[in-house]
Amino acid sequence: MRTSLIIDDEIFARERVKEFLQYSDFKSSIIESHSGKDAIDKINKSSPSLIFLDLDLQDMSGFDVLDNSNLDYKPIIICITASEIDAITAYEYQITDYLLKPYTLKRFKTSINRVKELIDLKNGKTLVSTIQKLTSIEKTYSDKIPVKKKDTTQLIDLSSVLYFSSDQHYIELVLSDHKHLIRESMQKLEQKLDPNQFIRIYRSTIININFIEEIIHCDYSDIQIRMTNSEVLKVGRSYKKQVIDFLGI
């Protein structure tokens, strides 16, 4: 049976989610977490398929929980918050839906219906993936990226970019001796980059593997990457496995 994890530091808020789940005809075993630290531990140990996440925890934010959890198995995430989440943030964290406090049972059921639809899609994922492999055409990637400079557009050689770092609506291109800014989302940029040369190591960072100088093994099995310009970049826990597999370390 699937598992649902309810993360909230208020017991009444957790009870509300459990009660609404019963009314929504969604069957799952339920585990609870009262803090961000406890939530990270339970996500990493239990791999719940559905996560209800309060973004305003006392010990850390809900986004900190996601950044420090192993989410390689792609759980469905519903955030509970007192303020709206911008679309870019929701997309970057792959949030399925969010509930604005105080939410009604009707709104909760709408969210659960989205979850059910997503589960149905995931159940058909294997067949779709097989069809895509059989019908796929090798994709080609550009070796340049345009950077607008007032009245001109400069074409930057991607092979010279050490890494990309996002800051809300802008992305910084870091080269060995200077930097550029472009207006782009990380998701769109990642689709344009050759996956054999570039890898995402954090929700806001994509690196060029040709400029990796060394891998730093830190406490709690965390890793960092030192680039050839001596900068040290953090590897997010949700990206750690794919980085390790990609680099063969």
pLDDT single digits (tens) 103-118: 899 999 999 998 988 8
- In this prediction, residues 190-203 reach a mean pLDDT of 91
**All residues at 6 or more sequence positions from 2 whose CB lies less than 8 Å from its CB, including other chains:** 27, 28, 29, 48, 49, 50, 119
- What pLDDT digit, counting tens, does each position of 70-92 carry? 888 888 999 998 877 766 777 77
Supply the pLDDT for residue 128.
57
Look at residue 225 and tell me whether its pLDDT is greater than 80. yes
Mean pLDDT score, 194-221: 92
3-state secondary structure the chain: CCEEEEECCCHHHHHHHHHHHHHCCCCCEEEEECCHHHHHHHHHHHCCCEEEEECECCCCEHHHHHHCCCCCCCCEEEEEECCCCCHHHHHHCCCCEEEECCCCHHHHHHHHHHHHHHHHHHHCHHHHHHHHHHHCCCCCCCCEEEEEECCEEEEEEHHHEEEEEEECCEEEEEECCCEEEEECCHHHHHHHCCCCCEEEEECCEEEEHHHEEEEEECHHHCEEEEECCCCEEECCHHHHHHHHHHHCC
* Rounded Cα–Cα distance for residues 17 and 6 (Å): 7
Q: What is the pLDDT of residues 93-105, one digit of tens each?
A: 888 888 888 889 9
Give the span between the Cα atoms of 165 and 206, in whole angstroms: 7
Model pLDDT, residue 173: 95
Question: Would you say residue 131 has pLDDT above 70?
Answer: no
pTM: 0.53
The whole-number pLDDT of residue 161 equals: 96
Domains of the chain: residue spans and CATH? 3-132 (3.40.50.2300), 144-247 (2.40.50.1020)
